[in-house]
Chain A
Amino acid sequence: MIPIEKPLINYMQMKFGVLVFPGSNCDHDTYHVISEVVGQPVVFLWHESEQLENCDAILVPGGFAYGDYLRTGAIAHFAPIMQAVKKFAASGGLVLGICNGFQILTESGLLPGALMRNAGLKYICKQIYLRTETSDSPFTNLLQPCQVLKIPIGHMEGNYFCDAPTLQQLEAQRRIAFRYSTAAGEITAEANPNGSLQNIAGILNEGRNVLGMMPHPDRSSEALLGSADGLRIFQSMVATLAGQD
């Protein structure tokens, strides 16, 4: 086996569920991180299923659910499994949407706003830097405020948009989890890869138990792949779940 970073926390077993839609293509990557790197039990949850199999946390992976046809994430939100995810989220369950997963969560109304076509109109895949805007969430509690993470993006529609009142609310409630930044943590226009409003890369819901983010922590949890900074996000989730029991 390839040497992998040992799990930081080894509390009890937390069961993760990875949603699989037709066209999901980071489902196996997300599964791999949880089972091989984070070291927790994980199952795939098929889109036609209506139950979450007693999972403690739900991961909505990246990809092109339904080919991104109509709008990214638009058709996925009608899948039976999403009804169960909505209920789970409403009862405080942890839901993390990555990339296409974030798009699905906004289309489903679990998170406000929308992800539009990148300002440069092209798909962009590269390593970028994120600044942690709050460590007060189940996904970021092992991160320091303002901690800079090196995490790659890979998307065509990551240009976050919401109306002014919503933005005000996000700011006031400290629900912006990550912003695109320079390596030194400055929030600049040059550091914004896709034209997102206020460099927003990830946001929380009001209950802080749902996070959507465009960058891929699943692609940055092992040093061999160029960065292990994303691992802390999954580990924060495990720490939170362990703390709840």
Chain B
Amino acid sequence: MKAHVYVMLRKTVLDPQGQTIHGALRKMQYRGVEDVRQGKYFVLTLSDALALPEAQLEVERIAREVLVNPVIEEYTYRLEP
């Protein structure tokens, strides 16, 4: 089983990298882009021994305690069988 964890800066936190990319897209005349936010994407390959509910708990714990700095970041995830 694989866990896909997406980490983004909280919506209220300024994202200078995203803004720079957005500015670049505008300058290059790509149309219709309202905003860009940049994040991180982790793929955790989990042991088959881990049942689904356990896996959920463990991934959430890892995300909360390690992958994310809650002061500035938030996360979402999905599990892929």
- Which of A109-117, A134-142, A169-177, A230-238 is near enough to bind chain B? A109-117
- In the bound assembly, the distance between CA atoms of A114 and B71 in angstroms comes to 6
- Does A161 reach chain B (CB closer than 8 Å)? yes
Instruction: Tell me the interface secondary structure of chain A in the complex.
Output: loop
Task: Type the 1/0 row for B38-81, where 1 means its CB is closer than 8 Å to any CB of A.
Answer: 00000000000000000000000000001101011000000000
Contact between A117 and B69 (Cβ–Cβ < 8 Å)? no
Contact between B16 and A74 (Cβ–Cβ < 8 Å)? no
Contact between A117 and B13 (Cβ–Cβ < 8 Å)? no
Closest to B65 in A: A78
Contact between A121 and B20 (Cβ–Cβ < 8 Å)? yes
Within 8 A of B (CB), among A159-210: 159, 161-163, 195
Query: What are the residues of chain A within 8 A of B72 when measuring CB–CB?
Result: 114, 116, 161
- In the bound assembly, the distance between CA atoms of A121 and B13 in angstroms comes to 15
Query: What are the residues of chain B within 8 A of A71 when measuring CB–CB?
Result: 69
- In the bound assembly, the distance between CA atoms of A74 and B69 in angstroms comes to 8
- In the bound assembly, the distance between CA atoms of A120 and B13 in angstroms comes to 16
- Does A90 reach chain B (CB closer than 8 Å)? no
Query: What are the residues of chain B within 8 A of A119 when measuring CB–CB?
Result: 16
Contact between A121 and B16 (Cβ–Cβ < 8 Å)? yes
- Does A27 reach chain B (CB closer than 8 Å)? no
Contact between B71 and A161 (Cβ–Cβ < 8 Å)? yes
Closest to A195 in B: B16
- In the bound assembly, the distance between CA atoms of A117 and B72 in angstroms comes to 11
Contact between B16 and A106 (Cβ–Cβ < 8 Å)? no
Task: Type the 1/0 row for B1-33, where 1 means its CB is closer than 8 Å to any CB of A.
Answer: 000000000001110110010000000000000
**Contacts A121-B17, A121-B20, A195-B16: A162 and B71 contacting too (C-beta < 8 A)?**
yes
Query: What are the residues of chain A within 8 A of B17 when measuring CB–CB?
Result: 117, 121
Within 8 A of B (CB), among A84-125: 106-107, 112-114, 116-121
Contact between A70 and B66 (Cβ–Cβ < 8 Å)? yes
- In the bound assembly, the distance between CA atoms of A112 and B13 in angstroms comes to 15
Contact between A114 and B16 (Cβ–Cβ < 8 Å)? no
- In the bound assembly, the distance between CA atoms of A112 and B71 in angstroms comes to 8
Contact between A117 and B71 (Cβ–Cβ < 8 Å)? no
- Chain B nearest CB from A55 CB (Å) reads 28
Would you mind naming 19 contact pairs between A and B with Cβ atoms under 8 Å apart?
A: A70-B67, A74-B66, A74-B69, A106-B71, A112-B71, A113-B71, A114-B69, A114-B72, A116-B13, A116-B14, A116-B16, A117-B16, A119-B16, A120-B16, A159-B16, A161-B71, A161-B72, A195-B14, A195-B16
Given contacts A119-B16, A161-B14, A163-B71, 14 further A-B contacts (CB under 8 A): A71-B69, A74-B66, A74-B69, A113-B71, A116-B14, A116-B72, A118-B16, A121-B16, A121-B17, A159-B16, A161-B13, A161-B71, A163-B12, A195-B14
